[in-house]
Amino acid sequence: MKLFIFAWHPTPRMQGNTSAVKADNQKNNTMNYPYGKAAFFILLMALVTGTAHFAVSFRRQVEKPDLVMAIFAPNHEEAYRAVLGEFEEQHGVKVQLQLVSQRALQSRLQSALLTGADVPDLVELLEGTIGFFARGPLEDVGFVDLTDRLHAEGIYDRMVPSRFSLWSSRGRIFALPNDVHPVTLAYRRDLIEELGIDVDQIETWDDFVAMGRSVVQDLTGDGNFDRYALDTPLGGIAVIRILLLQRGGQLFDEQGGVAFDTELTADTIAWYVRQTTGPDRIGYDAGWGQSLAKAMNDGLVLFYFCPDWRTKQFEMDVPNLKGKLGLMPLPAWEPGGRRTSTWGGTGLAITKASERQELAWELAKFLYLNEEELSARFRATNIISPLKDSWSAPVLDEERAFYGGQAIGRLLADLAPQTPPTYISPYSNLAQNKLAEVYLGAVAYYNRHGEAGLKEHIRKELTAQADYVRRVIDRNVFLQTDEGGAQ
């Protein structure tokens, strides 16, 4: 305390008078801190923060759970928390759930895996991210290779095989798929009925476009269309990918080679450009969040690409449209063709650094393969599990008031087996960006020249961008080492 009081007053030392300091020291025995008040406060702060840090670390150590699981989806957290108690009781362990935003989760996990810092035992990953973590040699992937377990325990055969492609690299599977995410079209049931449209008659995209052209209108006479047929979100690339997958196209092949410079991709982009550009367009980007909700409420757009996860999002974001929405399968590209695609995905990976990998695997199976739990989760999230046994659950036949009494679970489950695989590469994001560049270039071309030469222009751009992605991939010496040549 005396030291503290001393520190508030300038001393002779601070004034540069050393002889006076000695005299002052002799006079005042309490003045035993010789470096002045600034240094004293620095020391004090260091002591306080050091003690606080020690206390917090000690507390954390005391509370250390047996398993830590990191997730990014709040509705998953809610669903898992509801059942974790049962798992903890069964195994006599403590499980900690950590909810982290997706972007933060990926960057933190990336840094932690690269530097060998602490990582969770289990992590839920977003579609595409496994490619990032698998950009080096297979033995450097920070997640446990689940391939042999999945086959040995018969789990692989119980799930939709196409969903493992999202979590695979060079033939090895690194996560358990959580979902199928079959894509449908959600539509404003009330407005469609008012317009006298029978969605059962829309079987192909040609049918849809014909219907779409009849509904796009400037209702107020201000020169802007006030009603569009189809929502084309996220600058178009999300939809192009959905459509491409529906047609059997891919950005990458199963071995990780670039596969988007094809006639099928060129044709899909050209089709999409025609629907989103020029006076005959039927598509409108209604955006996301609030602007999407407003567009839906206003009836600005009538049909929306809608995977299973989005059906729940609509229930939460536009509750006042209860009873006014419906779901229909995607129109096919040719009569009798595939009526769905896929959009998004989550998978559960076990980190190699986990000291309790077997327990983590048990938790993964408990959360992803427990049919009773999956029924409850479907009710909470509308997400269809890739576990085929779960599709016979009565919950899928429940009629949903929000969708005008439609049994959306049954529709989604019926479409689930048709979902196409999505092959992933460390360069998926790059390829997607390059595909977006091709699309935007095609839009500019179409605005200038119309239909003449559009396909040739797209083909040329696709070739150039695919070659660019190949060049980037070829630089990855780790993939070359692994395979004896870049993929």
Partner 1 sequence: MKGSRKRAITPWVFLGPYLILTAVFFVYPFINSIWLAFHQTNGPRSAVFVGLSNFRFVLSDPDFYTAVKNTSIYAVVSVMIQLPLSLGLAMLLNSGKSRVRNLFRLILFSPHLVGQIFVGILFSVIFTPRYGLFNRGLQELVGWGLEERWLANPSLVMPALIIVSMWLYVGFNMIYFLAALQSVDKNLLDAAHVDGASPMQTFRHVIIPQIKAVAIFVVVMSTIGSYQLFELPYALLGGFGPNNSGLTIVGYLYSTAFETGDLGTGAAIGWLLAFVIFIISTIQIKLAKVE
Chain residues binding partner 1 by CB under 8 A are 35, 39, 107, 110, 113-116, 132, 135-137, 140, 224, 235, 285, 287, 290-291, 294-295, 300, 426-427, 429-430, 433, 436-437, 440-441, 468, 472, 475-478
**Least distance to partner 1, CB of residue 116, Å:** 7
Which residues are bridge partners to 227 per DSSP?
Answer: 217
CB of 441 to partner 1, least distance (A): 7
Q: Quote the least distance from Cβ 197 to partner 1, whole Å.
A: 24
Identify which of residues 178 and 354 has a Cβ nearer to partner 1 in the complex.
354
Contact 232, 216 (CB under 8 A): no
For 11-31, b where at least 16 C-beta lie within 10 A, e where not — what string? Answer: bebeeeeeeebeeebeeeeeb
**Residues whose CB falls within 8 Å of the CB of residue 228, separated by 6 or more in sequence, listed in order:** 212, 215, 216, 281, 282, 283, 284, 300, 301, 302
Instruction: Give the integer Cα–Cα distance in Å for 276 and 232.
Output: 8
Torsion of CA 384, 269, 209, 277, to 10 degrees: 120
- The answer for residues whose C-beta is within 8 angstroms of residue 395's C-beta and 6 or more apart is 375, 378, 379, 409
CB of 185 to partner 1, least distance (A): 22
Output 175 or 327, the one with its CB closest to partner 1.
Answer: 175
The one-letter amino acid at 487: Q
Which residue number, 25 or 429, has a Cβ lying nearer to partner 1?
Answer: 429
CB of 204 to partner 1, least distance (A): 29
Q: Indicate the residue among 36 and 85 with the shorter CB distance to partner 1.
A: 36
Q: Are 239 and 276 in contact (CB under 8 A)?
A: no
User: 340, 415 in Cβ contact below 8 A?
Assistant: yes
Contact 311, 271 (CB under 8 A): no
CB of 324 to partner 1, least distance (A): 20
Give 156 or 468: the residue with its C-beta nearer to partner 1.
Answer: 468
In angstroms, give the least distance from the CB of 478 to partner 1.
5
Task: Report in angstroms how near the CB of residue 224 gets to partner 1 at its nearest.
Answer: 6
* Of residues 114 and 452, the one with the C-beta less far from partner 1: 114
Cβ proximity to partner 1: between 113 and 269 the closer is: 113
C-alpha span between 460 and 445 (Å, rounded)? 12
CB of 132 to partner 1, least distance (A): 6
Closer CB to partner 1, 178 or 465, in the complex? 465
**Which residue number, 137 or 319, has a Cβ lying nearer to partner 1?**
137
In degrees and rounded to multiples of 5, residue 158 shows phi and psi of -85, -10
